[in-house]
Chain A
Amino acid sequence: AQSVTQLGSHVSVSEGALVLLRCNYSSSVPPYLFWYVQYPNQGLQLLLKYTSAATLVKGINGFEAEFKKSETSFHLTKPSAHMSDAAEYFCAVSTGFQKLVFGTGTRLLVSP
C-alpha cells in the first residue's frame, strides 16, 4: 500500500533562510506525489505535483520539489523563507482511483 512519511513535525527557520521539508514515500507502482499547504483555519491548497514528467517540479510561491526514485523521496524546498510561508505542509501520494494518502504534516515556523 502507498504511504508517505514526513520527518519532523515542526521545522523552524529564520526569514531569508533555506526551507527544507522532508517527505519519503512508499509505493508499489510509480507514484504521483503532491505537496499541499494549509494556512490556519483554511483548507488545503495545492503547492505542486509530480506526475512522472520532469523530476524537478516547480510550484507556487517559489517552492519546488525534486523526485528521487533511488531515495524514494520528494522533499520540498524554497531558497528564501518569508514570514507568510508559516503554515502546515502535507505530502501526499496518489493511490489510484483519485485517492490521496497524506502524511502527518510538518508545521513550518518562520522567525524574523
Chain B
Amino acid sequence: EAGVAQSPRYKIIEKRQSVAFWCNPISGHATLYWYQQILGQGPKLLIQFQNNGVVDDSQLPKDRFSAERLKGVDSTLKIQPAKLEDSAVYLCASSPGGSSAKNIQYFGAGTRLSVL
C-alpha cells in the first residue's frame, strides 16, 4: 500500500514570499491532517479535514495560512506571506476516519521549509 506522499521535500524562500505544499493521503483515508513541527518540538496540529470538510482549524493562523482538500482526496497548504517563524517541517498525515479515537495516523516524510 502506498504511503502518504508529500511534495516538495525541501523549500527555501525569503520572508514575505508565498509557498504551497501538497499532500496525497493513503487511498481511502477520509481524514487528513496538516501539522507544523518546529525544530526541537513535537508536531502541532494546524488543520484537520474529514473528507473535504474542515473539522478543526483552531490553530491555523488564518491571516497567512490556508488549506483546502478539494474532492476529499489530496490537499494543499499555503502560506502567504511567509514569516521567519514559519520555518519548520510541515507534516501531512491521514487516517481511515470514523469516530474512533483509536485510529492510527500515518505520516508523510514532510516538507522542510526555511524562510530567510
Quick one: given A96-B101, A97-B101, A98-B101, are A105 and B107 in contact (CB under 8 Å)? Answer: no
Interface hub of A9, A34, A100, A103 (most chain B Cβ within 10 A): A100
Quick one: given A32-B101, A49-B104, A104-B40, are A98 and B109 in contact (CB under 8 Å)? Answer: no
Contacting residue for B95 out of A9, A44, A98, CB 8 A: A98
Contacting residue for B102 out of A32, A36, A42, A92, CB 8 A: A32
Docked-complex contact B41 and A99, CB < 8 angstroms: no
Q: In the complex, which range does the number of interface residues on chain B fall in?
A: 20 to 34
Quick one: given A51-B102, A97-B56, A99-B56, are A44 and B107 in contact (CB under 8 Å)? Answer: yes
For residue B107, give the distance in angstroms from its CB to the closest CB of chain A: 4
Of residues 21 to 56 in A, which have CB atoms within 8 Å of B's CB atoms?
32, 34, 36, 41-46, 49, 51
Contacting residue for A98 out of B31, B40, B41, B44, CB 8 A: B31
For residue B29, give the distance in angstroms from its CB to the closest CB of chain A: 11
User: Which residues of chain A have C-beta atoms less than 8 A from B43's C-beta?
Assistant: 44, 90, 102
User: Which residues of chain A have C-beta atoms less than 8 A from B44's C-beta?
Assistant: 102
Contacting residue for A43 out of B56, B95, B107, CB 8 A: B107
Interface of B is mostly: loop
User: Which residues of chain A have C-beta atoms less than 8 A from B55's C-beta?
Assistant: 97
User: Which residues of chain A have C-beta atoms less than 8 A from B41's C-beta?
Assistant: 104-105
Chain B 95-107, CB within 8 Å of chain A: the 1/0 string? 1011111111111
User: Residues on B close to A: CB < 8 A?
Assistant: 4, 31, 40-45, 48, 55-56, 91, 93, 95, 97-110, 112
Nearest 4 CB-CB pairings of A with B: A102-B42, A43-B107, A94-B101, A44-B107
